[in-house]
Structure 1
Amino acid sequence: MAQHSGSRQEQILKLLLSRAAGMSIDELATELDISRNAVKQHLVGLEKDQLVREAALNSTGGRPSRNYTLTEQGRNRLPKQYPWFCNLLLSELKTELGETALRQMLWRMGVSLARSLAPQFSGKDPAQKQSALLELMQSLGYHAEMEADQAQPTIKAVNCVYHDLAQQHPELCEFDRALIATLLDKPIEQTACMALQDCACKFKICNSGT
């Protein structure tokens, strides 16, 4: 029987993770020690969130039953431990390449991503590019906005999407600066950084001749 820890839906996701072929409603009900109707209700919610899907019919000699399996989104919903590996990777790169080369590499990565997104900014005037950039940053989780009270346009982001990593590897900010500068086709000056204990990350948009 499954332990009664976490939500029922979390328990279902964990059970399905261990069964590549999926599980039927009856099998889930047995493992969770709850009714079939309760399992159905949880599966409806999980399907609505696109975390599980119906799989092949499960024929065991009796009445065929439908199996349920995890979607990719469902697999990604379960805990992952990326930060420690990213920290290990960045530490190794810094040791192998040196700080300057690591910064240059992260800058190139930001430029490369910006170039792949360039069609979304093509033909836009500076104000439209800034608006498109804010939408992009919001979609990436930065919670960004323009600071209207600044002498020069300044982007303020109150959520650093890799805050813990940036505290240990401030070189990561090169990626953000390169991405913003390339998409706006303007020089960028970072005037505040959450990794340095500021309340937000701020990027001042400079004039090309500045």
Structure 2
Amino acid sequence: MTQPSGTRQEQILNLLLAAANGLSIDELAAEMQISRNAVKQHLVGLEKQQLVAEAALNSTGGRPARSYKLTEQGRNRLPKQYGWFCQLLLAELKAELGEAALRQMLGRMGANLAQSLAPQFSGKSPQAKRLALVELMQTLGYRAELETDDGQTSLKAVNCVYHDLAQQIPELCEFDRVLIGTLLDSTIKQTACMAQQDCACRFRICAGER
């Protein structure tokens, strides 16, 4: 039975991961026990996704053969354990520094990031800053939007980009609070948190209270 394209493509990525100098179509076909044409088709798909690229010509004793290698994007497609490592690191920092100091550190990180983003918000009206913040958070994957209830405006995010981490290290929310508050030049009160089993994260914007 023919395996799904994705499975074959993952096979190619794994084979190229172990071959620093790349592999030719013939070498890939021999390893996978499929035809050269089938390998070519999968390579075309992987090239379109920018996961593999042509490498140098390899001398095989006959006519030189073109080899293929992973791109950086291709390497990043393979499984990584960033979240697991971040959890270990943050847990160690929390044990070493304590909850309050970790929260302060994350707050400073949020403030520093806000300072680097400040030119995008400089000179804007309060409402324009809020819209710019929504656009920024959308690019980061938060699925954010503004909502108003009884005259109070809140920023609502339905995707916590570090949900699993925040469940283990709730101090992470301080990063978001300070980042949002600094960019909007407003006091921010978090009224809901997905890491605490709420349906969304909500940050109430308290204009004029900062």
TM over 0.5: yes
Indicate the residue corresponding to 1:158 in structure 2.
Answer: 158
1:192 aligns with 2:207: no
Indicate the residue corresponding to 1:32 in structure 2.
Answer: 32
Instruction: Provide, for residues 144-203 of structure 1, a one-character-per-residue CA deviation record: whole Å limited to 9, x for no partner.
Output: 111144522211111111111111110000011111111112111111000111000001
Identity %: 75
Cα deviation for residue 54 of structure 1 reads: 1.1
Instruction: Provide, for residues 27-55 of structure 1, a one-character-per-residue CA deviation record: whole Å limited to 9, x for no partner.
Output: 11111111111111111111111111111
| Aligned counterparts of 1:111 and 1:209: Cα–Cα separation in 2 | 18
| Aligned counterparts of 1:31 and 1:58: Cα–Cα separation in 2 | 17
- Aligned pairs for 1:1-210 (under 5 A) are 7-149=7-149, 151-209=151-209
Displacement over 4 Å in runs of 4+ = 3-6
The amino acid that maps onto 2:59 is S
Cα deviation for residue 6 of structure 1 reads: 6.3
Which shows bigger deviation, 187-196 or 83-92? 83-92
| Aligned counterparts of 2:27 and 2:50: Cα–Cα separation in 1 | 21
Residue pair 2:186, 2:209 contacting (<8 A) in 1 also = no
The amino acid that maps onto 2:41 is Q
Q: 1:161 to 1:150 in 2, by over 3 A?
A: farther
- CA-atom RMSD in angstroms: 1.8
Q: Any idea what SS the aligned residue of 2:122 has?
A: coil
Instruction: Give unpaired runs (5+ residues) of structure 2.
Output: none
TM-score (norm 1): 0.93
Q: 1:152 to 1:53 in 2, by over 3 A?
A: same
Q: Any idea what SS the aligned residue of 1:153 has?
A: strand
Instruction: Provide, for residues 8-39 of structure 1, a one-character-per-residue CA deviation record: whole Å limited to 9, x for no partner.
Output: 11111111111111111111111111111111
TM-score (norm 2): 0.93
| Aligned counterparts of 1:191 and 1:75: Cα–Cα separation in 2 | 40
The amino acid that maps onto 2:96 is E
Q: Any idea what SS the aligned residue of 1:19 has?
A: coil
Q: 1:141 to 1:150 in 2, by over 3 A?
A: farther
Residue pair 2:147, 2:156 contacting (<8 A) in 1 also = yes
Cα deviation for residue 208 of structure 1 reads: 2.2
Instruction: Provide, for residues 41-80 of structure 1, a one-character-per-residue CA deviation record: whole Å limited to 9, x for no partner.
Output: 1111111111111111112221112111111111111111
